[in-house]
Amino acid sequence: MTTLDPRGDLVALTRAVCDIPSVSGDETALADLVEAALRTADHLEVLRDGDAVVARTQLGRPSRVVVAGHLDTVPVADNLPTRLEDGWLWGRGTVDMLGGVAVALALAVQLENPTRDVTWVFYDHEEVEAELNGLGRLVRTHPDWLACDFAVLGEPSNGGIEGGCNGTMRAEVRLHGVAAHSARAWVGVNAIHAAGEVLRRLEAYEPRSVEVDGLVYRESLNAVLVSGGTATNVIPDRCVVTVNYRFAPSTDVAGAEQHLRELFDGFELVVTDAAPGARPGLDHPAAAEFARAVLAVTGGAPAPKYGWTDVARFSALGIPAVNFGPGDPLLAHKDDERCPVDQITSSYAALRTWLTS
C-alpha cells in the first residue's frame, strides 16, 4: 500500500499526492493517506469529518492560524501520473491545488513547535456545487475546528499572497415591448432594440479600481447572457440582458445593487444571485507578519485575488484570510496544468519562516 512521507523530499511528496486520483467525490483514498501521515506526528490532534481531515497543535500560543487546502481536483485529462520536466511539475492537481496540500502536509508533520498554534485543514468537494463544499460543511458541523485569528488558503497564487476576493452579483435587465407581426413592424415596439441602450451603457461603463487594506481591486461589469425574441416573423416583446458585476470587497451586496440600479436607471432590474467579497485583512498583525515573511523569502508583494474562493467562507466568519500557494491560477483545470517546482519550494520556505520566527 502507498504511504505518504511528509518528512522526505517535498517534490516527491507532491508527486505522490498528485498521483493518487482524487476527483471530487472520490477523495477517500487520498484523505485516508493524509490522515495516516498526520497521525505519525505526536504533536498533532487529528480529527476527521467525511473526507475532511483536520490536525491541530495545542501549544497554548496567544494566536492560532488555519492553513487550509482542498484535496479534490477536476477530472483527470490524461495528465496523470505527474512528470517532471525542466523545472516544471506537470499533471492534474499540481496547480489546483495539491502543490499547496503537499506543502501544508509537510509542514504540519515537520513543525513540532511552531510560534503560533496551527490548525491544518484538508477538505473535500471544492470543485463542485457549493452545497457539497467540505469547508462549508465544517463551518456548519464543527465551527470550533476552524476557530482562529487568521487563515491561509493554499489556492494557487503564483507563490505570492493574493488577498481577499471581489464580490459577485448577477442581475437581469428586462426589456419590454409590444409584439406585432414583423410585416407590420410599426404596430409593435421592439424590445431587442431597447436593449441597445443597455449595451451602450455597459460599453461606456468604466470599471473602478478600489484600494482595500492596501490592495487594489479591479472591478468589472459585463453582459454575460442575452436572450430575446420568440419567432423570426414577430416583433419581440421581451429581451433579457443578464449582467455580472464583480465588485471590490469594500462594497457590500446592498451597495452593489444600488450601483447597478443607478447605472440602469429607467430599466427593470432584478438581482438573481449575489455573494459578498472578502477583505484581504492584511492589516491584521498575523497577516502582516505573514506578508513580511513571504516578501523576505520570495520577494513577492501581496496582490488582490479576483476570483471568488473559499477565503470568503472565512471572511463570513469574521476571520481575515488570504490565498497563498504554488502555481499559476490561469493554468488550473487546463489539460496542460503544470507548476514550477521552485514555487513549491519557496511556498514551503515562506510558510516555514512565518511559523517558526
Q: Which residues bind a copy of itself (CB under 8 A)?
A: 166, 168, 170, 181-186, 190, 192-193, 195-196, 199-200, 202-203, 207, 218, 220-229, 231-236, 239, 241-242, 244, 246, 273, 306-308
Rounded least distance, CB 308 to a copy of itself, Å: 7
Rank residues 110 and 222 by Cβ distance to a copy of itself and give the closer one.
222
Is residue 72 part of the annotated active site? The answer reads yes
Report the C-alpha gap between 132 and 175 in whole angstroms.
36
User: Which one from 72, 162, 219, 310 is the annotated catalytic residue?
Assistant: 72
Residue identified by cell 476576493 is: 165
Report the C-alpha gap between 291 and 71 in whole angstroms.
25
Rounded least distance, CB 199 to a copy of itself, Å: 3
Rank residues 32 and 172 by Cβ distance to a copy of itself and give the closer one.
172
Rank residues 28 and 222 by Cβ distance to a copy of itself and give the closer one.
222
Give the residue from 110, 137, 74, 99 showing the smallest Cα distance to 324.
Answer: 99
DSSP assignment of 123-169 equals: ES--SS-GGG-HHHHHHHH-GGGG--SEEEE---STTSEEE-B-EEE
**Which three-class secondary structure state does DSSP give residue 228?**
strand
**Residue 254: in which H helix or E strand, if any?**
helix 253-263
Give the residue from 222, 224, 246, 240 showing the smallest Cα distance to 169.
Answer: 246
Is residue 86 part of the annotated active site? The answer reads no
Q: Where are the alpha helices (DSSP H) in 161-218?
A: 191-204
Rounded least distance, CB 230 to a copy of itself, Å: 8
Euclidean distance between the first and the last CA atom of the chain, given in angstroms as a whole number: 37
Rounded least distance, CB 163 to a copy of itself, Å: 15
Rounded least distance, CB 172 to a copy of itself, Å: 10
User: Which one from 27, 96, 126, 237 is the annotated catalytic residue?
Assistant: 126
Report the C-alpha gap between 270 and 175 in whole angstroms.
11
Residues marked active site are found at 72, 126
